[in-house]
């Protein structure tokens, strides 16, 4: 099921300590940058680069010191060769070069041993380098730890960058808002602005909190929320959201939610929590590393000691050296860091395109999607209905009936109700309805002047035994049938518009080999028209919520991986049943964000094939890294055991492959998915 969390309460114990350390270092690195930027916001760009450069130097400082000392000692030993450079001084020099990069790793090894992690990467590197010192391979002992340290820094920076990209929406949330208090415009920290207060938003400023437009109108850039930079005009009384950029004139906005409850804040929480949901590939690699590493350690011990019984000219130092190489190569760092980093990249790339993925496990699932099932209204069509015609029996007072229908539909949240209200106008408060009831999948019923009023589909008419002298299937558009006092009054036709990118969406899905099905509660004639226009494989209309569930179950019985695309609330049972639930319109409903696994923020169906592409690319990069790590390590392990590979090859097999895998993972951020 789509919503089972793969990262349970024991997940932290499963996580390798090395990954925890790198993630913690990356978080600290990001925190320092953010702190610096907040304290120097007047010169943001300059301060950001200045502090980032300083932070990088701090990360590399131990490795720089070690490198300078190592080069100095090698120069004195092999080139300058002064008489005073005796063995004790040489050994002291190598130890001095070892300390800046070696001591932190030895400390980490001790910490991991204390919590029962005997075979952590820190332990392996400590044994390997101390063993190299023991057999007199001083330069290699220092070099292994030096390159390992450099690799750690690069990995920390890579993770830091990935996490900053994922959290880049934070920059869209201003810390300060201009609030009108006692007739004066004052700057107030956004978190201290209260609901009901008025914000003055100047051209070029971003809105800090959600609110309602008080000015006649305003043009906003919504790219921070939708990934699209097209201007969106908002009129008086319409909702605007934190992160929207005011484009052309001073606009007044009445705050409707506190800072922490804004739509953007909820989206940020979603994105930040996404990395906690681990993909099966990540969980497998972690479990594998816990088994794989002890096995390699046992093989290293065997490689050192067993030849004593089978090799005529057994030299302990030689076989110990091979065993140490074996240990260095065995470190699974390329896997345990580059794989999560790959998923970080995928989540970040998706968020930049206005697609919010709740966890790396859903990237894996969407990549394997074989069948996309979609709702019609609001997904493939605009969901903006307009009344086309009113066909009432002349025996009834049309104006009176329409006023009743308007009041009745006012109790529904369906877009059709909005269309009727726009057509008829303001509610007539002199008309009192009672016993108002919404009948799921049928329509609305109420009592007015002791007479029953019905408004809904023709199933509603059938349910209450209302006879009608027309054939519903002959009416193409969506139809609202009306009955009053147990007599058929007539009907109202309403039409919706197909979204401009709906056709290209279906074509792209078909090109990718993905089947398409459209399920709708709308009448079959409308669903057929939309389905045929778009070239959808299968389409079904006149469905109740339970019918949609049955249809999805039928598809799943065939063994296909199913993604359902809808509004996330009305279709909650189908979303829960599907392998991955995709919500259209993340800006429209908080409930959508809660229910769905993936949220498309700008309502554009073309983001569905894009999400699948990003999932496939992420999965491809992750498996490339797995193949690279295992392939190179296997080759160098064999060469090391045969005495061909030296410690330098071992360093490449460990740190070098990790860096290559990380660079490959970062590549996702720069991919063009169009």
- For the residues of 45-110, what is the DSSP string, one character each? HHHHHHHHHHHHHHHHHHHHHHHHHHHHHHHIIIII--TT--HHHHHHHHHHHHHHHHHHHHHHHH
User: Nearest to residue 18, comparing CAs of 158, 156, 142, 127?
Assistant: 156
Stretch (H or E) spanning 188: strand 184-189
Q: Which of 210, 232, 364, 375 is catalytic?
A: 375
Q: How many Å apart are CA 347 and CA 333, to the nearest integer?
A: 21
3-state secondary structure 237-290: CCEECCCCEECCCCEEEEECCCHHHCHHHHHHHHHHHHCCCCCHHHHHHHHHHH
Parallel/antiparallel/unpaired status of strands 217-221 and 580-584 = unpaired
Please check whether residue 343 is in contact with residue 622, taking contact to mean a CB–CB distance below 8 angstroms: yes
CB atoms within 10 A of CB 667: 14
Give the single-character DSSP code of 653: I
- For the residues of 201-239, what is the DSSP string, one character each? E-TTPBP-S-EEE-SSEEEEE-HHHHS---EEEEETT-E
List CB contacts of 482: < 8 A, sequence separation 6 or more: 392, 401, 405, 453, 454, 455, 488, 489, 490, 491, 492
Is 375 tagged catalytic? yes
Residue 620 Cα distances to 289, 358, 511, 614, 623, angstroms: 21, 20, 19, 10, 5
Give CA 247 to chain center in angstroms. 28
Residues marked active site are found at 375
């Amino acid at each position: 099921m789509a919503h089972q969390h793969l990262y349970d309460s024991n997940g932290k114990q499963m996580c390798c300590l090395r990954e925890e350390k790198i993630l913690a270092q990356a978080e600290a690195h990001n925190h320092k940058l953010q702190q610096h930027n907040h304290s120097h916001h007047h010169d943001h760009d300059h301060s950001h680069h200045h502090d980032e450069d300083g932070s990088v130097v701090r990360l590399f400082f131990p490795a720089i010191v070690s490198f300078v000392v190592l080069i100095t000692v090698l120069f004195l030993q092999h080139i300058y060769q002064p008489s005073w450079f005796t063995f004790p001084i040489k050994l002291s020099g190598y130890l001095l070069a070892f300390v800046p990069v070696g001591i932190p790793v030895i400390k980490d090894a001790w910490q991991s041993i204390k919590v029962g992690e005997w075979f952590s990467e820190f332990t392996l590197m400590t044994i390997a380098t101390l063993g190299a010192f023991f057999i007199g391979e001083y330069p290699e002992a220092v070099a292994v730890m030096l390159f390992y340290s450099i690799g750690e820094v690069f990995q920390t920076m890579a993770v830091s960058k990935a996490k900053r990209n994922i959290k880049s929406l934070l920059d869209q949330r201003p810390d300060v808002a201009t609030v009108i208090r006692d007739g004066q415009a004052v700057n107030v920290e956004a978190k201290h602005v209260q609901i009901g207060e008025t914000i003055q938003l100047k051209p070029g400023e971003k809105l800090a909190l959600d609110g309602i437009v008080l000015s006649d109108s305003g043009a906003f850039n919504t790219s921070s929320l939708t990934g699209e930079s097209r201007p969106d005009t908002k009129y008086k009384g319409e909702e605007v959201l934190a992160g929207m950029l005011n484009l052309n004139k001073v606009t007044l906005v009445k705050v409707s939610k506190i800072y922490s409850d804004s739509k953007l804040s909820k989206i940020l929480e979603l994105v930040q929590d996404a990395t906690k949901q681990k993909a099966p590939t990540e969980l497998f690699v972690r479990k594998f590393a816990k088994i794989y590493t002890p096995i390699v350690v046992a093989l290293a011990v065997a490689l050192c000691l067993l030849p004593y019984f089978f090799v005529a000219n057994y030299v302990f130092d030689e076989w110990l050296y091979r065993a140490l190489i074996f240990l260095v190569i065995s470190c699974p760092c390329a896997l345990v860091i580059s794989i999560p980093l790959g998923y970080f990249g995928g989540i970040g790339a998706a968020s930049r395109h206005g697609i919010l993925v709740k966890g790396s496990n859903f990237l894996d699932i969407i990549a394997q999607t074989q069948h996309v099932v979609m709702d019609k209204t609001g997904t493939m069509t605009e969901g903006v209905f307009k009344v086309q015609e009113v066909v009432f029996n002349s025996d009834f007072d049309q104006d009176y009936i329409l006023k009743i229908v308007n009041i009745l539909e006012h109790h529904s949240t369906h877009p059709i109700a909005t269309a009727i209200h726009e057509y008829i106008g303001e509610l007539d408060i002199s008309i009192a309805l009672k016993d108002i009831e919404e009948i799921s999948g049928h329509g609305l019923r109420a009592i007015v002047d002791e007479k029953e009023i019905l408004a809904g589909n023709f199933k509603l008419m059938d349910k209450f035994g209302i006879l009608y002298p027309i054939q519903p299937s002959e009416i193409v558009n969506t139809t609202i049938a009306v009955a009053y006092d147990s007599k058929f009054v007539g009907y109202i036709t309403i039409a919706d518009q197909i979204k401009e990118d709906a056709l290209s969406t279906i074509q792209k899905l078909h090109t990718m080999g993905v089947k398409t099905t459209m399920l709708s509660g709308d009448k079959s004639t409308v669903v057929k028209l939309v389905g045929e226009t778009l070239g959808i494989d299968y389409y079904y209309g006149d469905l109740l919520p339970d019918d949609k569930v049955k249809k999805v179950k039928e598809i799943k019985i065939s063994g296909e991986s199913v993604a359902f695309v809808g509004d996330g609330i009305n279709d909650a049972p189908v979303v829960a049943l599907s392998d991955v639930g995709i919500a259209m319109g993340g800006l429209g409903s908080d409930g959508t964000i809660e229910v769905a696994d993936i949220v498309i923020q700008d309502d554009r169906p073309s983001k569905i094939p894009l999400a699948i592409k990003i999932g496939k690319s992420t999965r491809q990069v992750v498996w490339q890294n797995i193949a690279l790590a295992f392939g190179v390590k296997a080759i160098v392990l064999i060469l090391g055991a045969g005495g061909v590979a030296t410690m330098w090859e071992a360093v490449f097999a460990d740190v070098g492959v990790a860096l290559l895998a990380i660079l490959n993972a970062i590549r996702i951020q720069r991919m063009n998915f169009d």
